[in-house]
Amino acid sequence: MLKIGLVGKPNAGKSTIYSALTRNTVEIANYPFTTTKANLGIALIPTECPEKIIKKRCNPREGTCINGTRYVPLEIIDVPGLIEGSSEGKGMGNEFLDNIRDADALVQIFDLSDFPVNHDGKTHGYDEFMQIQIEMVKWLSSKISREWERFAKKADASGDRMERSLLKKIGSMGLNEKQIAVILSKNSYPAKLTLWGEEDFEQLSKDMLFVSKSLVPLGNKADLIDEKTAYKIRSVVDNCAMVSGDYELAMQKAFSHGMISSLDSDFEISPEIPEKLKVALEKMRSFFSEKWVSRINDFLGSVVTDKLKHIVVFPVYDEGQWTDKAGNILPDAFLVPEGSTALDLAFRIHTDIGNGFIRAIDAKTRRVVGKDHVLSDGDIIRIVAKTS
């Protein structure tokens, strides 16, 4: 399952956003280091369900489906304690790495109200925002440089490809050989590992964060700023999305109490509630109608499609009925990287299915396709495999 980590300085609202995305109740408070252990939960991202095409209701094994919108699960981790000095062991440095190791993307949450932008674009808030990134880079760098010489000598002598050698060094930080090869092609690193120095470790750490871990900024507490400030901030933190974790939570609460008609931005307010609440909800509605404000679920969806470049595919056993062996309609919806092939999907279902792959069938067109067939978003695929 895809996993997205929420990182950022204390009090930025990580737990609030985590809670709004996963509907899990966690400790939220207006002081730093409220969260001391990572919270792990499931969020659902919306995608179109092919059940509409066959006009039958699907039976999701995971997630849910509402009115033809299929909600596909992914993991969210609320990572505690990243502060200036983490790389020197302050805060929760080591646990931090344990928590981000297997994250596919990291969302850097920052407090927009902390970020008044001066005419030069440089402010305390901006410095702190950058500091978190610098801290992460420094810290990864220090991990890479540890016992480098011995590692590099051995690796150079082995004659292995560089990505294979580096896998031994940084694989434990959650990178695979393919990702390392992409990183190496992005910058000019010395051809021999024994020639690498501090600058290269730092560049590698940056690439690990921004290329492999897709670090994405997300401005929170948008309810505390105005449009003009929002655009100023966007001019320094390139086009970042802006949300309000607090308002998202408040809306969920209002919805669960029947005060509003839906969780969409244009919800209707129940006429039966006290005037004071009505005013607060109206304020919220007008906030969400602002063009510069994003909804957190839409933001999450855009991380999956635009940053992580994943698509949704539906494996089935029966290409005619779109069911599994037990007759469940479209039971699975998998998020897979763009460019994945029928064979990749087979391996994703089960190693045995991958190893025994014979052919695949596109259940929408009934066409037989081979192992190299590249999947498209929304594909429904039957894998025919020889199993022992």
Ligand X SMILES: Nc1nc2c(ncn2[C@@H]2O[C@H](COP(=O)(O)OP(=O)(O)OP(=O)(O)O)[C@@H](O)[C@H]2O)c(=O)[nH]1
Residues that bind ligand X (CB under 6 A): 10-16, 28-30, 32-35, 80, 220-221, 223-224, 244-246
Instruction: Count Cβ atoms below 10 Å from residue 258 Cβ, excluding itself.
Output: 10
Place of tokens 């929760």: 92
24 binds Mg ion (CB under 5 A): no
The item of ligand X, Mg ion, none sharing an interface with residue 33, based on CB under 5 to 8 Å by kind, is ligand X
The smaller minimum CB distance to Mg ion, of residues 169 and 221, is found at 221
Cα–Cα distance between 190 and 200 in angstroms, integer?
Answer: 8
35 binds Mg ion (CB under 5 A): yes
The smaller minimum CB distance to Mg ion, of residues 34 and 328, is found at 34
Secondary structure of 157-184 as H, E, C letters: HHCCCHHHHHHHHHHHHCCCHHHHHHHH
First to last CA, the chain: 27
The item of Mg ion, ligand X, none sharing an interface with residue 331, based on CB under 5 to 8 Å by kind, is none
Cα–Cα distance between 221 and 246 in angstroms, integer?
Answer: 7
The smaller minimum CB distance to ligand X, of residues 9 and 169, is found at 9
The window from 30-38, 124-132, 145-153, 318-326 that contacts Mg ion (CB under 5 A) reads: 30-38
Select from 4, 15, 58, 362 the one that contacts Mg ion (CB under 5 A).
15
Sign of CA pseudo-dihedral 305, 187, 215, 105:
positive
CB 14 to ligand X: min, Å: 4
The window from 32-40, 68-76, 82-90, 153-161 that contacts Mg ion (CB under 5 A) reads: 32-40
CB 21 to Mg ion: min, Å: 13
The smaller minimum CB distance to ligand X, of residues 108 and 214, is found at 108
The item of Mg ion, ligand X, none sharing an interface with residue 242, based on CB under 5 to 8 Å by kind, is none
The smaller minimum CB distance to Mg ion, of residues 81 and 217, is found at 81
Strand order in the sheet with 310-316: 334-337, 310-316, 380-385, 357-362, 367-369
The smaller minimum CB distance to ligand X, of residues 218 and 316, is found at 218
Cα–Cα distance between 224 and 206 in angstroms, integer?
Answer: 31
CB 147 to Mg ion: min, Å: 34
The smaller minimum CB distance to ligand X, of residues 112 and 345, is found at 112
Closest of 60, 27, 8 to residue 331, by C-alpha: 60
Cα–Cα distance between 345 and 177 in angstroms, integer?
Answer: 19
CB 79 to Mg ion: min, Å: 9
CB 387 to ligand X: min, Å: 46
With beta carbons less than 8 A apart as the criterion, state whether 383 and 314 touch.
Answer: no
The CA-based dihedral angle spanning residues 248, 254, 258, 261, taken in that order and rounded to the nearest 10 degrees: -40
Site residues, Mg ion (CB under 5 A)? 15, 34-35
